[in-house]
Amino acid sequence: MAGVQVGKRIIGADAPVIVGWENIPKVEGGPIKQFVFTWFQPVMLFAAIAFWYYAPNWLAVASTAIAIRLGWTVLLLALEWVNPRHKSWQLTWKEGVTDAFYVGLGMTFIGMVDAYIGDGVILGAVRDAFDWEKFDWFTGLPLLVQAVLISMIFDFGQYWMHRAMHNWHPLWLTHAPHHYITQLNVQKGAVGNPVELFLIGLGIGGLFDFLPRAFLLAGAIGMTVGAYQHINVRFNVPRWWRFIFNTTEHHSVHHSQDYEATRSNYSGTWIIWDRIFGTCVDGEAEVLGMEGGRRMHIGETMVFPFREGWRDGKAWLAKKLGGASNPPAAGLEPAE
């Protein structure tokens, strides 16, 4: 496979990757269907912003956000059946039950851990020790500007955490199980080792939760854009949208079986961070996963970073102690 040069990298040399928006398939069907699946994403974003901007205070609360998220998920699951991006990604009962397990894990165990040692606790201590009067200028900004800045600041942290997971081996061991998914569906973002899911949830956007309305607006932006990272729906993405925001197309490239492609498109919401730091690849991939598309079961996902970390640690120790005269025993080499 020859691949396509993007910047200094060759994309698609290891596995099929479509590079360039002009080469990506479009929505098939009549004008109404074309219109709906072209403007669905922008309309939903603007509707969410309008709701959280104008909703009365008694309605603009966290419980409302949870209810909207639930309804939003059901709607997107329905769209996966109405207009699937790839038939090979269609949700099966096995995939659905597995995804539900990880969602439940995130809402229970990981949520409890985060309550004690997560970014909320850390950032709370930072807020208590900082003179926030110096940031009165921020609270004086228009509400929507506050929300956009909070969203971008949070995603900036997400970008660098995600990029670090692909460039520092200990962090990669926690993130690797997520890259064993072989299809994108609405809840696939929850699939992964608990350590990785905890780390990827850390961010500095929580510094601004003393601005409840702006914080909820920022969350609405993240939900109505980030949800499309893992989704099996074909959209005709408007040019301006795909330039600013992360899309299913971008994230499918990140999950492809091509090594160089996986080292791109790290942002969660604002793909412009990738454009700024030179890691954006516009395109699409259908063949996803690792090890030729091997599906990692739940049990292996739970132990993978610890098992591989133990093996790597033993290999490193064997090399240090054994030297050239005592090569490490078979099976002690670090995992790729």
SS3 category, 246 = coil
Asked if the model's pLDDT at residue 318 lies above 80, the reply is yes
How far apart (Å, rounded) are the C-alpha atoms in residues 162 and 254?
11
Residue type, 107: M
- Name every residue whose Cβ is closer than 8 Å to that of residue 133 and which is 6 or more positions away in sequence: none
pTM for the structure as a whole? 0.86
Q: Find tokens 């098939």 and name the residue.
A: 28
- Could you give the percent of the chain with pLDDT greater than 70? 84
pLDDT, one tens digit per residue, over 10-26 is: 999 999 999 999 999 99
Token pair 């229970």 is found at 108
Length of the chain equals 336
pLDDT in tens, 216-267: 889 899 989 999 999 999 999 899 999 999 999 999 999 999 999 999 999 9
Contact 273, 159 (CB under 8 A): yes
- For 210-228, give the DSSP string: TSHHHHHHHHHHHHHHHTT
What's the confidence (pLDDT) of residue 225? 94
First to last CA, the chain: 21
Is the pLDDT reported for residue 334 higher than 90?
A: no
SS3 252: helix
Q: How far is CA 27 from CA 22, 65, 74, 153, 268, in A?
A: 13, 31, 21, 33, 24
In this prediction, residues 126-140 reach a mean pLDDT of: 63
174 Cβ partners below 8 Å, 6+ apart? Answer: 165, 193, 195, 196, 199, 305
Amino acid at 155: D
pLDDT of amino acid 101: 93
Provide the token pair at 192: 């992964």
